[in-house]
Chain A
């Protein structure tokens, strides 16, 4: 393994000191001059027509500067160009409890709140459609009549590969089940906030807690009907996203519109309850899945039929619809595969992307079924998984290009560390051990706005002081992407982290990046940063050579074995016109000493200080500037939905969970999670461990307790607070022992792949499988709450004979 200076070392996040001392400015901390406070009036109805809005009382109230309603906007919006179905303020109908209906800008927050209470809205309420099954039925009041459908279907996806019927025929064990999943919130710490600064020319700077400044930038221009160059979007420090800040939001449109109308700066911050109303969390889902397993052939067939409840608007839903199927093409091959997924609209806050987007729920179903099939076929669940995990450099049935796979060794080690062989099936009643694996994308290969722009662009500058500034459009949402960019640049240039400043997520200064979602930033923006640094390095090397009066080192040709993307030495399987040659580090630029020392030739060993090289390069030229980009290779098949789930790299995960189940109360305690995650080469072990711990924590929340509860008749959220919406407390976090052995991916920056999302999904089925090992019952609904576990034990005790450990059969 190559030894690096910065890469692969545990580097504290560059903002950690600021955040720990409270100095970091989040959006709500910004103080703009005389900013007007905005209060949004929200619908108390899940489904109603707006007959009239009388804002006269509010307009007369003290301190009020403006009141706006749906009539003030001409365009709807949405993160996906194919479902721009959401208004900034409801126009004629409201579709969920909490939908914004009007907004007030006033001198103080209290005045804005008081004025909002004085707005009279006349509603004609209707029975809401809250049940996703009912949403498939014909209705004369569809939630989105503009689609011209007689029901509330939003999106249908169907795919089939191979011959599923034949595949099930070949299986030694065929198992099936219905799995049920609740709606979830992301649970980020910082509620959404937006502030808008307006200048004398009417240009606006929008400070917002967003994962994707670029998508917000586009949506603002369209909804406000002003050109993009008059809008600047800045993401200040951000307190967690998890997918919940990746869409453009109504409150962002509202704050900007009110700034344009009043000519005044504006500000708003959502309450936690408003965050629940805005939702965009995990879709409530029902999955019917069937899996056929053969002891030698692996999964012979997999079929799945999924219904997801999208709530009132589209959001990322079309992607979610596909992800519910396509992400089942790993971690094992499934040559015969059929998949159907319907996403419906209901009168609830919209669902969207959430950590592990669309892949978490089907992973639970498939990994529980895999376990059941192993039990039926008499296979050890770990050994069977080991045997059938994808081989590197293969292609899945639906055309995913599987490149690096570094899981098998990790899972073997995890089996040893957890003493799997001594424990599985052998622990006393109430104690259990279970395994599950997962697989996730390292960035979506296809941009959601179809164009040929690079997915990431990073610009570097070095001025007279020698400091390096990295400009990137990527959003550090707490996951450490700024630090990752700095590490890549520091490693290539050989300068310490302290000489690097990252300016990111500011559309006025930074090149476009498609933002922080789909676990794409390390792979894509990281590669772009590395590429920019390599180009900068060549400039410096060239200057040093001039000072030493020697010729420049020979660089390889693009696409050659030493090209930037090909550091692992594998032949490229695609052409990329953007990528420059790679100096291959044989240029003699020594990182530690910041000097240039030729390793051969007449001036061997002679040194040029870094700053001398910088200044020489600036002669007659000025500040140094380079740009690096990332473009995904071309990949994928030619069929409907072929683009969904395509990624330049995939992560792989395996978890072995150990649980204690109290058979008297049904309480499940997760004692330990042992496992392995293949994130390629870990750029920053500190970040990797943080992401793994966080994924397990969040996954266990969904496994054991999390669910948004809606009033079944009114559709109002009943637990819109962190007291009543249950996320794990530190007491429930298990001991964690997850390895991430360096497995170099040939295309990731320094060999890295994703670590932010993939590890969430498999922890959930590993717990379900451990519960089965402990007490002999299969849980098919999440969360696996004590009452459900107890009910399953009671039902199971009546029908399942116990083996010598008191444990059930399949």
Chain B
């Protein structure tokens, strides 16, 4: 399979990259940003239309490195590969759940190239959209493909939010959400930072708040994390390769002033990651707190047919995985 031709740029400095983006935007020329390219390249192969310019970020030092500021934060460069993340001593020491989650993504070959930033920005997936040109000829084009329909929810109309139900599949997002990570975004106007929980959007096309001309540079995780930590479990038919059919992260921490805080975050079953926390103090008992967490977060997601598992089954697995992992954390606490 060959992809349509494109222009290749590899700026050496962040500033150059941002200037280049502004220039391309100004001229109305299309571009895509590429870090590891593991998500992007298959997409480019399945599209009949050129992406315009492919801007490789791999030389940008500002986006690299893992920096530990003891007692304050762990800062992850957007270009850190999942492989490095899974084996980094500082990460394993401070947030073993991040290293473990990264180590379960895709395959070793992909983890050698794929990056943290790329995982947070990974395109939403849908059994109708993530198809070849030939396959899509059999369907009328969907909203994400520039058409006027959604095959998952055929009554969707333009203007609805979400317009596209393609599901969010990042494994790291639910873990980083429970760790209260913030992200840094650079543009020619300077750098801004925002909490990760405000970053993702509920629509499978717009997906997140990364604007034109912007580059995700770093992810900062505040220290310390929840006292009993975070656990992540992904449901998938194979223990390698596959995106999560359902990913469940749970956390257990203390509330300043007493009591326990139960957290959960989901991926794979909605257009965006969903995170929720429940304080035991407010709920009376531990069981009631977990029940209420499960009920709340289950209400917040809408799994659709995604290929392998039926949506009913995925919905049934949300409480199973939350309870199991919460019990593990409770035993640890």
Same complex for A and B? Answer: yes
Q: Does A379 contact B (CB under 8 A)?
A: no
Q: Does B237 contact A (CB under 8 A)?
A: yes
Q: Are B132 and A273 within 8 A (Cβ)? A: yes
Within 8 A of B (CB), among A554-611: none
A233 to B96, CA, bound (A): 58
Residues in A with CB closer than 8 Å to B241 are: 723, 729
With A724-B127, A726-B308 given, name 15 new contacts (CB 8 A). A117-B48, A271-B132, A664-B320, A665-B320, A665-B321, A711-B139, A718-B135, A719-B127, A724-B308, A726-B242, A730-B240, A732-B238, A785-B237, A786-B237, A786-B313
Closest A residue to B312 by beta carbon equals A787
A98 to B134, CA, bound (A): 8
Closest A residue to B308 by beta carbon equals A726
Closest A residue to B323 by beta carbon equals A664
Cβ proximity bits A103-118 to B, threshold 8 Å, 1 near / 0 not: 0000001100100010
Residues in B with CB closer than 8 Å to A716 are: 135, 138-139
Q: Does A348 contact B (CB under 8 A)?
A: no
Residues in B with CB closer than 8 Å to A263 are: none
Cβ proximity bits B120-154 to A, threshold 8 Å, 1 near / 0 not: 00000001000110110111000000000000000
Residues in A with CB closer than 8 Å to B1 are: 271
A45 to B240, CA, bound (A): 34
Residue pairs across A and B with CB atoms within 8 Å: the count is 78
Q: Are A97 and B138 within 8 A (Cβ)? A: yes
| Complex partner residue of B139 from A98, A271, A709, A714, CB under 8 angstroms | A714
User: Which 7 residue pairs are nearest across A and B when measured between Cβ atoms?
Assistant: A731-B239, A787-B313, A44-B137, A716-B138, A729-B240, A729-B238, A44-B138
Closest B residue to A113 by beta carbon equals B2
Given the interface contacts A664-B324, A665-B320, does A726 sit within 8 Å of B135 by beta carbon? no
| Complex partner residue of B307 from A45, A709, A728, CB under 8 angstroms | A709
A171 to B310, CA, bound (A): 40
Cβ proximity bits B55-86 to A, threshold 8 Å, 1 near / 0 not: 00000000000000000000000000000000
Q: Are B138 and A45 within 8 A (Cβ)? A: yes
Query: Can you report 28 A-B residue pairs in the complex whose CB atoms are below 8 A from each other?
Result: A42-B134, A44-B138, A109-B2, A271-B132, A273-B135, A664-B320, A664-B324, A665-B235, A665-B317, A665-B320, A665-B321, A714-B138, A714-B139, A718-B127, A718-B135, A718-B307, A720-B131, A723-B241, A723-B242, A726-B237, A726-B238, A731-B239, A785-B237, A785-B309, A786-B309, A787-B309, A787-B310, A790-B316
Cβ proximity bits A732-750 to B, threshold 8 Å, 1 near / 0 not: 1000000000000000000
Q: Are A720 and B132 within 8 A (Cβ)? A: yes
Residues in A with CB closer than 8 Å to B237 are: 704-705, 726, 785-786
Residues in B with CB closer than 8 Å to A732 are: 238-239
Q: Does A642 contact B (CB under 8 A)?
A: no
A731 to B132, CA, bound (A): 28
Q: Give the shortest distance, in Å, between B84 (CB) and chain A (any CB).
A: 22
Residues in A with CB closer than 8 Å to B317 are: 665
Q: Which of B242, B307, B308, B312 has the most CB of A within 10 A?
A: B308
Q: Give the shortest distance, in Å, between B43 (CB) and chain A (any CB).
A: 12
Cβ proximity bits B14-41 to A, threshold 8 Å, 1 near / 0 not: 0000000000000000000000000000
Q: Are B238 and A705 within 8 A (Cβ)? A: yes
Within 8 A of A (CB), among B291-332: 307-310, 312-313, 316-317, 320-321, 324
Interface positions of B (Cβ within 8 A of A): 1-2, 48, 127, 131-132, 134-135, 137-139, 235, 237-242, 307-310, 312-313, 316-317, 320-321, 324
Q: Give the shortest distance, in Å, between B127 (CB) and chain A (any CB).
A: 5
A723 to B243, CA, bound (A): 9
A554 to B134, CA, bound (A): 68
Residues in A with CB closer than 8 Å to B242 are: 723, 726
A109 to B1, CA, bound (A): 10
A716 to B131, CA, bound (A): 11
Q: Are A731 and B240 within 8 A (Cβ)? A: yes
Q: Does A717 contact B (CB under 8 A)?
A: yes
Closest A residue to B5 by beta carbon equals A110
Within 8 A of B (CB), among A757-810: 785-787, 790
Q: Are B127 and A720 within 8 A (Cβ)? A: no
Closest B residue to A97 by beta carbon equals B138
Residues in B with CB closer than 8 Å to A786 are: 237, 309, 313
A97 to B135, CA, bound (A): 9
Within 8 A of B (CB), among A256-298: 271, 273-274, 277
Within 8 A of B (CB), among A306-343: none
Closest B residue to A44 by beta carbon equals B137
Q: Give the shortest distance, in Å, between B333 (CB) and chain A (any CB).
A: 22
A83 to B131, CA, bound (A): 33
Residues in B with CB closer than 8 Å to A277 are: 134
Residues in A with CB closer than 8 Å to B309 are: 785-787
Q: Give the shortest distance, in Å, between A274 (CB) and chain B (any CB).
A: 8
Closest B residue to A108 by beta carbon equals B2
Q: Give the shortest distance, in Å, between A402 (CB) and chain B (any CB).
A: 39
Q: Give the shortest distance, in Å, between B97 (CB) and chain A (any CB).
A: 21
A777 to B179, CA, bound (A): 41
Residues in B with CB closer than 8 Å to A728 are: 238
Residues in B with CB closer than 8 Å to A718 are: 127, 131, 135, 307
Q: Are A729 and B239 within 8 A (Cβ)? A: yes
Residues in A with CB closer than 8 Å to B235 are: 665
Closest A residue to B138 by beta carbon equals A716
A794 to B321, CA, bound (A): 17
Q: Give the shortest distance, in Å, between B233 (CB) and chain A (any CB).
A: 10
Cβ proximity bits A89-129 to B, threshold 8 Å, 1 near / 0 not: 00000000110000000000110010001000000000000
Residues in B with CB closer than 8 Å to A665 are: 235, 317, 320-321
A790 to B240, CA, bound (A): 22
Q: Give the shortest distance, in Å, between A716 (CB) and chain B (any CB).
A: 4
Residues in B with CB closer than 8 Å to A109 are: 2
Closest B residue to A787 by beta carbon equals B313
A641 to B258, CA, bound (A): 80
Residues in A with CB closer than 8 Å to B139 are: 711, 714, 716
Residues in A with CB closer than 8 Å to B48 are: 117
Q: Give the shortest distance, in Å, between A745 (CB) and chain B (any CB).
A: 38
Closest B residue to A109 by beta carbon equals B2
A109 to B4, CA, bound (A): 11
A302 to B138, CA, bound (A): 44
Q: Give the shortest distance, in Å, between A126 (CB) and chain B (any CB).
A: 14
